[in-house]
Every structure is written in C-alpha cells, then in structure tokens.
Structure 1
Amino acid sequence: MISPVRDEARFIDAAIDSMAAQTVRPTAWVIVNDGSTDHTAAMARTRAAELDFITVVDKPDRGHRHVGSGVIEAFNFGLSASPIADWDYIIKLDADITYGPRYIELMLAEFTREHRLAAVSGRVFRPEPGGDVEERKSADMVCGPFKFYRRAAFEAIGGFEQTLQWDGIDIHRARMTGWRTYNIANLEARIHHHRLMGSSQVSIVHGRMRWGRGIHFMGYHPAYAVASGLYRMRDWPYVVGGLLIIAGYFRAAAQGAKRYPDPEFRANLRRWQLRQLAALPRSAFSAARRHLVGVRHSP
C-alpha cells in the first residue's frame, strides 16, 4: 500500500485512524512525503512510531504540484521503496479519505469471489451538513483515491502511467487485457472523500475545465465527452460543472492539444464508448419497463 502525500496535514490523522481500525490491516503501508511544506511528514512519522506497518519516505521536492503525473511519480517512488515481492495486492491510497473498519476485508472478499477482478473499490461520498452526497461513477469504475489492485493485474497493465488521466487509462487497459473492474454499493464499503472530486487547488471551475482537457487527452469520442458532461450536470456545481467539462474538451480539441500517445488504445477506447452509447436506449427502455411492471403490481 502506497500513499503519495503533499500538504495533507488537515486529513492525514483521520486517514491513518481509518487504516489502524481495519479488521484486516495491510502488510506494509509506505507513505511518500512528496515535498510537503506543512506538518504532514512530521504527523505521519509520529503515527508510524505507533503503528509498525507504516513507513515514511521522503521524495525530493519538485517544487510544485504536478497534476496527474506528479502523484504517480510519487507513487512510483514509493513502489521502488516497497517490499512488493511479498505483496499479493498493490494499493494506491490518498490521505484525504476515511472509510469503515471492514473496508479491506470486503475488498478481499470480492477478489476471492471474482478471479478475473483486476481492481475494486467502494463508492465515494462527500460528507455534507445534510448527509452524504455520492460522487457518482459508472459501475465499472474504481475510485482514484483508493485503487485496490490484484498484483498480477497491476503488472499485466504495466502499472499506472505517469500521465494525465492515469486513473482512467488503467481501467481501460484492464478491459483490453481481459480483466474486470467495478465498485460495490455495500454501506460498509463507503469511502468518505474530504475534497470535492474534480476540483483543483485553483478552483472548481478550473478543475472541471481540466477534467475536459483530460478526457480529450485520453482519447474520448466527442459524443461520449458530451454524454459525460451531461451526466455530470447533476453534480456540484449543478449544470455548470458539466458544461465546463464539455467546454474543456472542445477547447482542447480546437487548440490541437496533445493526445495520449497510443493510437491503438485510443481507437479501442472509442469503439468501447460507442458501444456503451448504443446500449443506452435499450438500458433506458429496460429501466422504464421494470418501473412500469413495479407500478402495475404495487398494491
């Protein structure tokens, strides 16, 4: 288990508390201090002295946050310092999340049940005063803040790529190599994310535009990019956030922004996306039919 951390002093104690409370604890947890300027490293070392499975390593400071590739650069630094020869699973874990005590136990049960499962997660929620708000993902996606991989599958896809959209590229590479990925709805597997998904250190507007540029880089089909933006209109900031994703995508396209440098991957991704879009009318019809049958048989 590896956690790249940079200036996470607000969250890291709670993150470590969640891990310490697990019914199944990790063999090893390497926390990579990626140039923190606050008390993150000191807090992690204090907790490492209490918990024998935690090791803290310092990565040379690049001097700034580097979106996308920076976190994987730090992850790979931690991976090189980890005893992975003894690991059956490889986890990339953020320090701004919390989760229940059976989380790892439940994920391991999924790997036992499904032998072609590459990666799995619970579903992500943002704590709000009125209750938890789900950060919605499609059923086959695995949350980026807690990437729980079978080691054999992680190696089959070549690990995480040090690039934009690394946490979408890995999922499609798993599909291409015959592995499954999904998230589960179990209440005991809820992940509480203490930052808004798709935001940035600048602003939520900047984060949504960056999201659009990222899916353009990855190789999204234009129709799927629009569908993704429409889907995200139901998330905060409502309507506007989805429009910004679409705008970011088409702005990147108009500027001739660079794409992920694997044409076979991009072509395969687009074929998969078009199949998903083609299946939408059938899915909507089936859902409506189930609803009508339920109404017809209700007392």
Structure 2
Amino acid sequence: MRFLIIIPAHNEENNLSFTLDSLQQQSFKEFKVVVVNDGSTDRTEEIIKKYVDTDSRFETVNLQKSSHQPGSKVVNAFKNGLNTQNLDEFDIICKFDADIILPENYLETIRNSFQNNPEYGLVGGLLYVEKDESWIYEGNSNKHHVRGPMKAYRKESFTQMGGLRETLGWDNIDSILLENLGWKEVVLSELQVKLIKVKGTDYTIKPAEYYGRYFYFLGLNRFLAYIASSKEAAKSKSISFFFTIIKSYESCRSKKLELKISKQEQKIINDQRWKALKKKWLKM
C-alpha cells in the first residue's frame, strides 16, 4: 500500500522541519509527500526546498496567500496539493498538519490496520501536547474520533464520500459521511502524535461566535444547534455564552450563507446527531 500525504503549511518555519523529519524517519518508506505552501511570508518555502532537493518523495505546491475562511482555508490548500497527483498510484490518502511529530511506526501501523481490516475507512492516532515539560493527551475530542492534524483515509472511502469539504467542521463532516457509507473510523491509541505548536491545552477554548458558525456550517437544524449551544455554554458556565452562540448561528441563517454539503448530506448529519442525542441523553 502506498501513501499520498498532503501537508498544508502557512508560516510554519518553526515547526515544519520536525514534521518532515519524522516522515523521513518512518519505518515504512512507500509514500509521497506534497507540502502546500499557502502564501507563507516566513522561511517555510526555504525549508520545504531542502527536502524537495534531497528526497524524491517530497514535492511542493506554492499558492498565493489564501483569503478563505478558517476551516475552508486548510481544505482548499489540501485540494490544491491533491489535484497535482494521480490518485491511481496510491492506496491511502493523508491530510497531515505541518506542526506534528509522528512516531517512527506511524505509517507502518496505519498500513497494517488498513490491510487487516477492509472495513476501516479512516484511521489515526491520538494527539499529545506539551505541558509542564511532559507530553499529555490533548483531550479535545473523544478517543474514537481521528483529529484533523493526522487523518489517513483509505482511498476508496475518501472517493466515495466525495473528498473533504471546504468548510468549518470539515473534520467532523467526514466522519459522519463515512459512517453513513458503512466505513469505520478507528483511533489507534498506541500511536501518540505530538502537536508541537501548542503549549498546554488552553488553545481548545473557542469564542462563542466560532461555535455559532460551526454549528451552522455543519448543517445542524435550529433545534440541534440550540442543544449543542447549551452544551458549550454549560462547559463555560456562562448563560451569555449560549446567547452569543445563538446570535452567531442565527446571523448565518439570516444571511443564508452557502453550505458546502448537499441537502441529503445535511439530513445525514442531523439524523446522526439526533441518534447520538437520544443515545446519550434520552437513553433510547
């Protein structure tokens, strides 16, 4: 099985070399890396060139500075890299961030997992962040969800779901669509991936306006969006947080901002959310 690894990078001069070094040190060698330089103004392009010039498995794509919104920006860069490749040459498609360090057996373990489990469509490890000079589990998601910085898709599953969506919430939309198609998303907890840009876990706190936009672009109907908003407000222990989320969500609705998912996909997402809600809260 051969890997195609796409890495969007914007001003990652302090982190990118760690990511690319960890790829060169992988026990499994059958991969190609495409680093998409998304309008960097620092030394990112220079760093990429060092790997491209010395290792034929590395390529680069240079983009002008992206004006896309958060969420869509990284997927737009990813797609630009993907479009330069012949997917017939690959079996596994990866979207990695430019600020992670992979354990040496990462690709080999992912490859073995796909080979031994034909129902697996999306596989990844767990993210760890540095805190008080130790690496601890990030804890920003449940341990059954592959986080955005280290996604590995079986090519067939990736193609069936129509690739990634250029929108906020893309890394949850993919999971739901894959599940609906019958593919399994699997987290291999023994694979500990270091997220090097972050110190501690405070970065996981998002402003209320973010959640309003996120719930809208995820395609949630009003009822489910309000339920999700109350959950986030409870975490922050703030009633005003709830109303700010709702204001942001309703603003998106009133403007009728374009969704990057179809009506059918929106129904799939809402049905899945409703099923999860009944299972967790209503014990149904």
Instruction: Report the TM-score range of the alignment, normalised by the length of the smaller protein.
Output: 0.7 to 0.9
2:250 aligned partner = 254
2:114 aligned partner = 111
The 1:180–1:194 alpha-carbon spacing in structure 2 relative to 1, beyond 3 Å, is same
**CA separation in 1, counterparts of 2:280 and 2:40?**
45
Mapping of residues 1-299 of structure 1, within 5 Å: 1-62=5-66, 64=67, 66-129=69-132, 131-136=134-139, 137-186=141-190, 189-196=191-198, 199=203, 205-206=206-207, 209-220=209-220, 221-222=224-225, 224-226=227-229, 229=232, 233=235, 239=236, 246=242, 249-257=245-253, 258=257, 260=259, 261-280=261-280
Q: Give the unaligned 5+ runs of structure 2.
A: none
CA contact (8 A) 1:210 1:248 kept: no
How far 1:259 moved relative to its partner?
Answer: 6.5
CA contact (8 A) 1:5 1:34 kept: yes
CA contact (8 A) 2:9 2:36 kept: yes
- 1:233-283 CA-to-partner distances (Å, cap 9, x unmatched) read 4xxxxx469985x55542223324337353332232222222222222698
CA contact (8 A) 1:124 1:190 kept: yes
The 1:15–1:240 alpha-carbon spacing in structure 2 relative to 1, beyond 3 Å, is farther
Q: Percent of aligned positions with the same letter in both sequences?
A: 22
| Paired amino acid for 1:164 | L
1:236 aligned partner = none
Count the aligned residue pairs.
269
Query: Comparing both chains, which one has the higher relative contact order based on Cα–Cα distances under 8 Å and sequence gaps of 6 or more?
Result: 2
- SS of 1:185's equivalent? strand
Q: Give the unaligned 5+ runs of structure 1.
A: 234-238, 284-299
CA contact (8 A) 1:117 1:150 kept: yes
**CA separation in 2, counterparts of 1:24 and 1:86?**
17
- 1:93-112 CA-to-partner distances (Å, cap 9, x unmatched) read 11011121011111112212
Normalising by structure 2, what TM-score?
Answer: 0.83
| Paired amino acid for 2:192 | R
**CA separation in 1, counterparts of 2:226 and 2:81?**
38
CA contact (8 A) 1:214 1:249 kept: no
The 1:70–1:152 alpha-carbon spacing in structure 2 relative to 1, beyond 3 Å, is same
**CA separation in 2, counterparts of 1:282 and 1:28?**
47
Normalising by structure 1, what TM-score?
Answer: 0.80
RMSD of equivalent CA atoms = 2.8
* Off by >4 Å, runs of 4+ in structure 1: 196-200, 240-244
The 1:270–1:39 alpha-carbon spacing in structure 2 relative to 1, beyond 3 Å, is same
Task: Report the structure, 1 or 2, having the larger strand content.
Answer: 2
